[in-house]
Amino acid sequence: TDEMRLRQCLLNVAGNACKFTRDGRIDIRAHRVDEDGRAMLRFEVSDTGPGIAQAQLAQITEPFHDTGDASSYRFGGAGLGLAISQRLLAQLGGRLDISSTPGAGSTFTLTVPVNLTEAVTAEGEPRALERSA
Ligand code: ADP
C-alpha cells in the first residue's frame, strides 16, 4: 500500500485515542487478514476513553464535524482528521470502521489491501497512487 498515506491515517486515529483518553489504556493491534481472497492489513486502535454516542458515529467522519459537546471543544481540533483518514483509506481501496460504547471506549479499525494495485475506487477504476520517482 502507500506507506505514507497509511501512516497519516494511523497517526490521526492514534492521536485521537491519546487526545481523548485522559486516564486509561490504548491498544494498537496489527493483523494480516484474508478478505474474499485479498490480502489485507488491519489495524485496530482501541481506547478506554469517553466513547462516542451512537447517534454521532455516522457523522464524525463528516468534514468539520463538531459533536457539540464540551469535551470536543476542550480537546480542540478542526474536525477534519477522520474525514481525511476515511477518504484516504477509501483511495487505498480500504475503509475505516468505528465502534464505540459511550463511557467505555472506542475502536477504530483501518483495513487496506496489502497491494496498492488492488485498490479500486468506488467507480471500480483502479486507482494509481504510486509515485513515479
Ligand atoms: P478533531 O481533529 O476535531 O478531533 P476528528 O475528525 O479527528 O477531528 O474527530 C472528530 C470527532 O470525533 C472528535 O471531535 C471527537 O468528538 C470524536 N472522536 C474522534 N476520535 C475519538 C476517540 N478516540 N474517542 C472519543 N471521541 C472521538
Question: Does ligand 1 lie within 6 Å of residue 85's CB atom?
Answer: no
Q: For residue range 70-85, what is the model confidence (pLDDT) as tens digits?
A: 555 566 678 899 999 9
Provide the terminal-to-terminal Cα distance of the chain, rounded to the nearest Å: 16
Q: What is the pLDDT of residue 78?
A: 82
- Which atom belonging to ligand 1 lies closest to the Cα atom of 82? 6
Q: What is the pLDDT of residue 125?
A: 53
Q: Note the pTM of the prediction, 2 decimals.
A: 0.87
- Which atom belonging to ligand 1 lies closest to the Cα atom of 17? 23
Question: Does ligand 1 lie within 6 Å of residue 13's CB atom?
Answer: no
Could you tell me where the beta strands, DSSP code E, fall in the chain? 26-35, 38-47, 95-101, 105-113
Instruction: Compute the average pLDDT of residues 13-21.
Output: 96
Q: What is the pLDDT of residue 133?
A: 47
Cα of 104 from ligand 1 centre, angstroms: 15
Position 2 pLDDT exceeds 60: yes
